Structure 1
């Protein structure tokens, strides 16, 4: 894979994380406890779950890039800035692992035929929870206006200034 193409793929990962953190920071504080229905995870729990999943898969598939895995996967009680910091740190760890492994031709240890499949899984997984978060917020009376949330999410994918 050419380094230019790898740079584009890693930029896509960076944008994915920027969208996720932008969404997190747009959630009103009382929206962090929102859930789609009784028994569903809270908005806060979905953000901590995504951070956890990134780190668990790194631990299993690229242990040389692993960071400390949180004890709890579905956690409540963290501030928006704590969760944003965790997401930034785990996104950087994933970026470093995928970049290094693609450049070196090193294989993932357990789950994926190629490091880019790991990255694709993370983006798909986080997009899934992005939709759940927006639905939970809508159900709790905190629906986002498209004009407000669009520049923080969809527009990040389509930005040609990079």
Structure 2
């Protein structure tokens, strides 16, 4: 396993850790500024992963499906995030750390940074929506998403 894959796995596990801490009924929570509900934020992350896989290595899309916004559940989100996470791992395993990801500039390390930045932005939106809806995640989770060495 290369360091890109290892870093990606830690990041994806943090997304799953946050998702696990959220009550099913709170997947519909919205931030005061509206935008996507909590569950749709997670679905969006999965969708962006699929978009990049379609460009970079379409064969890795096999078995992946778009998440229907009308049928969002924690189980379905977790399964899909795990599957698309594995597909991204495979993409990184096929790519040398100094190599390139088809359709993305500059290098694979930049692509990893892009994915982590994008999904971390949405994690922040998720946490804000939950807080503003009166369903703030426990402090253990708030700090736990920063424990990269534990995942």
Structure 1: gaps of 5 or more residues: 1-5
Q: CA deviation at 1:112?
A: 2.4
Q: Give the superposed CA RMSD.
A: 2.3
Residues 1:148 and 1:125: Cα distance change in structure 2 (over 3 Å): closer
Q: 1:79 to 1:71 in 2, by over 3 A?
A: closer
| Residues 8 and 39 (structure 1), Cα distance of their counterparts in 2 relative to 1, 3 Å cut | same
State the distance in 2 between where 1:7 and 1:136 align.
35
Q: Secondary structure at the match of 1:83?
A: helix
Task: Select which of 72, 75, 87 maps to 1:81.
Answer: 75
Q: TM-score, normalised by structure 2?
A: 0.87
Contact 2:92–2:108 under 8 Å retained in 1: yes
For the pair shown, the structure with the greater C-alpha radius of gyration is 1
**Partners in 1 of 2:141 and 2:8 — Cα distance?**
23
Counterpart of 1:136 in structure 2 is: 129
Aligned match of 1:56:
51
CA distance in 1: counterparts of 2:20 and 2:35, whole angstroms: 21
Q: TM-score if structure 1 supplies the norm length?
A: 0.81
Q: What is the CA–CA distance in structure 1 between the aligned matches of 2:98 and 2:59, rounded to whole Å?
A: 13
1:148 Cα offset (Å): 4.4
